């Protein structure tokens, strides 16, 4: 009986509805709800391994070049673990840490990349999970 209830509970857990990815394209703008991948403008090394993508948007100047992008993700990693990853990644040289602010339960980062690119990251505590908001902007035309 115990085995049957265990199998049954696992079966119901696996049958939980998962968010369905939705993508909307408006010529140079792409908006996604529960995207399967992050926009390519964001360095993947800033993301936690257990990231769940919630929303994303991209504004492209051409077929492959992103001018602006936004990403909202959720993770179960602690704020301390996330901050450690961002600080370590920023010390590697291709993204320079310009500013870091802490206000209440939020942490804000502003980073600058090569070829006039900027990246801001906002960390927010949401109970058992933490949310990360990424904003990317390319300030040049090349």
Helices (H), 64-131: 79-90
Task: Report if residue 15 sits inside a domain.
Answer: no
Indicate the pLDDT class of residue 141, thresholds 50, 70 and 90.
Answer: low
Structural domain including 91 reads 21-138
Task: Report if residue 26 sits inside a domain.
Answer: yes
Task: Report if residue 3 sits inside a domain.
Answer: no
CATH number, domain of 52, equals 3.40.1000
Which of 10, 77, 1 lies closest to 46, judged by CA?
Answer: 77
pLDDT at residue 10, rounded to an integer: 39
The stretch 77-91 carries a mean pLDDT of: 90
Supply the pTM of this predicted model.
0.80
Task: Report if residue 73 sits inside a domain.
Answer: yes
Task: Report if residue 10 sits inside a domain.
Answer: no
Task: Report if residue 111 sits inside a domain.
Answer: yes
If one counts the domains in the chain, the total is 1
- Reading the block at residue 132, the tokens are 């990360």
Helical (H) or strand (E) element with 73: strand 66-75
């Amino acid at each position: 009986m115990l085995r049957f209830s265990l199998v049954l509970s696992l079966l119901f857990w696996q049958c939980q509805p998962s968010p369905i990815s939705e993508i909307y394209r408006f010529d140079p703008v792409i908006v996604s709800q529960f995207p399967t991948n992050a926009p390519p403008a964001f360095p993947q090394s800033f993301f936690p391994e257990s990231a769940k993508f919630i929303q994303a948007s991209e504004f492209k100047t051409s077929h492959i070049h992103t001018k602006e992008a936004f990403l909202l993700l959720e993770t179960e990693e602690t704020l301390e673990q996330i901050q450690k990853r961002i600080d370590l990644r920023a010390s590697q040289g291709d993204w320079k840490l310009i500013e870091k602010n802490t206000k209440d339960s939020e942490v804000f980062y502003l980073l600058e990349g090569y070829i006039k690119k900027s990246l801001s990251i906002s960390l927010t505590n949401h109970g058992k999970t933490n949310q990360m908001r990424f904003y990317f902007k390319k300030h040049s035309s090349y």
